Structure 1
């Protein structure tokens, strides 16, 4: 089935994430929901609200919510915005549930990932969609950086007391948390390729060969298809990944 492209008049900026992430998520949702769908969605954290603004343009009838540690500025009509600490319980009505929960480049910004995932899945309707994106710290560039400098690309070896981005949550932990909270992972896509990183291709081929043999021999209860979606060759270069999941029926 051919995927529909986003409308040409839609301005999808990078926002507070990596290049191409918002476009990838929006394209997926644009191909999933009819444009007149009246689904309910919440984006946590919503940052500047650019992603919600794009959702509003694509789905005029959707009920959109957003929350962030700083008071979000309205960027679209009829969007309910909350100033909230995502490491605590959410200040939504107890019976509030959503058809769609998105978290774009959020989990690296705050601690208590377990509580955040638990709260997100609790307010997601059975059959609802959970989209979670995060920076990929397993690229060949990150691995070499850690080998020689004891740091990752965006996480330094030493944090200042007022450091904002501190939570290096790997994909295997996010997959585990989602699965143990009733989310069936349907797809994982990597994005944000910078051509300058291809200079590390010879190292990547060598590392990938060893990694591939290890993963082939690794006995696990995870479905084999999911294991290879977590660690395709492209994860050696693409700086961000998007996890698409669906809440299992009760």
Structure 2
């Protein structure tokens, strides 16, 4: 479809088109991303497409919203209303992040430049969010020990290794002709529950607790431990998959 086609269609018609073209949920997809954010992104994508916005423009809006929320974390003293503002900005930024790919599909497919931009924004977001938490803890939380700052600093490492590992897995498989292990399939209730702490959308909800620094730190710290555990389980599995991929490539 072209932009003119999108403008001529009703909003509901575009939403239905997106719903019909939606990719099946992957087994490793966190629940908020699948059941909440993807649907919110669909509504935004329909609006953006009818308004004639490009996928890159939607990515830009996502970045502005997300980094505005991150700046609020680092610069504004903690209070209940601050947590609400941060959550709203981060959640909207995440929804627009889902929408850019859906707009690209409506427009006939994405581009390497668009995919590159999306990943660069995501990588910057992952680092900046946890570093902003470290700044907020140092400036506003009033902790007697600087050791608490290790939580967001280590969270940066875990989040970046996880993100880079998933991207690198897909790139190496594509380069060597392998298939992704993230294929549509059944999702057990237990696995879905275990994935909750790794879901960026659920992490955004944690910032609603910013007005209560001690409670926020406890919940945020538990999320860090859960993500560290998930990465500890994933890394050996990814390494085995890459080793097997190398063996298959050598046989060819």
Q: TM-score, normalised by structure 1?
A: 0.25
Rg comparison, structure with higher value? 2
Q: Which has the higher helix share?
A: 2
Q: Which has the higher strand share?
A: 1
Higher relative contact order (CA 8 A, sep 6+): 2
Q: TM-score, normalised by structure 2?
A: 0.25
